[in-house]
């Protein structure tokens, strides 16, 4: 579905509201189409800037969502404000309600062993009748073998879910979806990141005041300092100077 996009360091980030997004997904599913959804925080945008393959995936994805206050701030600073910040942590709980109301089916791929099954139980209790038709945890690898990849595809295609939620970390999950979507019998494939654990209640989300004030990153860092150190203290500080450079660059093309 067509919508406005904002260039953030060469990544075309979608400018739409959560309501518009879900209306689009309803249409995609009912019309039997396919859509790739990428949820892009700062580290994903920097990965795209550094890797041409990732950049191409984001350019061709149907939706590239604004995950994080810094990305929304950057769009405003660049003079082209994105409508709404749409994070994986906000999207995921709503997906189950959306699917339950419309009788759409869901498949959960990825995360650590036991996480998807826990999420399935939590959401089935919260939304009676929701159709979570399968879960699959692939091995932890940078690249899957052909046999491993085929097992993932077969597990999904056996149940033909309307919505596929992929938790393999970004941008790995976005690369996997892009490379396999044509082979998958699904309609909306979403790279959801680490939201499974939060939605399942295994990791607490930051208080609302921290979310609104742009401090959710600090809360996440305090929970998982080893995993989040590189993202927040090595990658994120690079982002602001690059945005300033983009703002004042005279180049008309992508940076």
Residue 124 lies in a domain: yes
Which range marks the domain in which residue 121 is found?
4-199
User: Which of 157-161, 186-190, 216-220 has the lowest average pLDDT?
Assistant: 216-220
* pLDDT (tens digit per residue) in 184-200: 999 999 999 888 998 88
**In-domain check, residue 20:** yes
Enter the tokens of residue 121. 């139980």
Alpha helices in 78-231 (DSSP H): 88-102, 115-126, 146-159, 172-180, 195-199, 208-212, 216-223, 225-230
User: What's the rounded Cα separation, in Å, for the pair 219 and 205?
Assistant: 8
Number of domains in the chain: 1
Tell me the pLDDT band of 182, cut-offs 50, 70 and 90: very high
Is the preceding peptide bond at 90 cis, omega within 30 degrees of 0? no
pTM summary value: 0.90
Q: Which tens digits make up the pLDDT trace of 101-123?
A: 999 999 999 999 999 999 999 99
- Residue from 20, 81, 11 nearest 39 by CA: 11
Q: Is residue 116 part of a domain?
A: yes
State the CATH number of the domain containing residue 87. Answer: 3.40.50
Neighbours of 127 (CB within 10 A): 17
Q: Is residue 227 part of a domain?
A: no
């Amino acid at each position: 579905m067509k919508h406005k996009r904002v260039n953030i360091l060469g990544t075309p980030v979608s400018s739409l509201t959560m309501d518009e997004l879900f209306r689009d997904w309803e249409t995609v599913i009912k019309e039997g189409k396919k859509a790739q959804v990428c949820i892009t925080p700062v580290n994903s945008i920097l990965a795209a800037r550094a890797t041409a393959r990732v950049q191409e995936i984001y350019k061709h994805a149907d939706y590239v969502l604004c995950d994080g206050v810094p990305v929304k701030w950057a769009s405003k600073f660049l003079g082209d404000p994105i409508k709404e910040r749409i994070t994986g942590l906000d999207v995921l709980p709503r997906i189950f309600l959306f699917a339950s109301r419309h009788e759409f089916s869901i498949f959960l791929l990825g995360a650590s062993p036991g996480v998807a099954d826990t999420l399935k139980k939590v959401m089935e209790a919260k939304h009676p009748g929701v159709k979570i038709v399968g879960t699959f945890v692939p091995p932890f690898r940078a690249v899957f073998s052909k046999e491993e990849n085929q097992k993932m595809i077969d597990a999904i295609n056996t149940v033909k879910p309307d919505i596929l939620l992929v938790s393999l970390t970004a941008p790995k999950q976005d690369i996997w979806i892009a490379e396999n979507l044509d082979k998958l019998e699904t309609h909306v494939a979403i790279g959801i990141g680490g939201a499974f654990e939060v939605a399942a209640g295994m990791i607490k989300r930051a208080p609302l005041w921290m979310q609104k004030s742009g401090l959710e990153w600090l809360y996440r860092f305090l929970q998982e300092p080893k995993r989040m150190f590189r993202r927040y203290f090595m990658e994120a500080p690079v982002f602001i100077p690059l945005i300033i450079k983009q703002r004042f660059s005279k180049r008309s093309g992508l940076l």
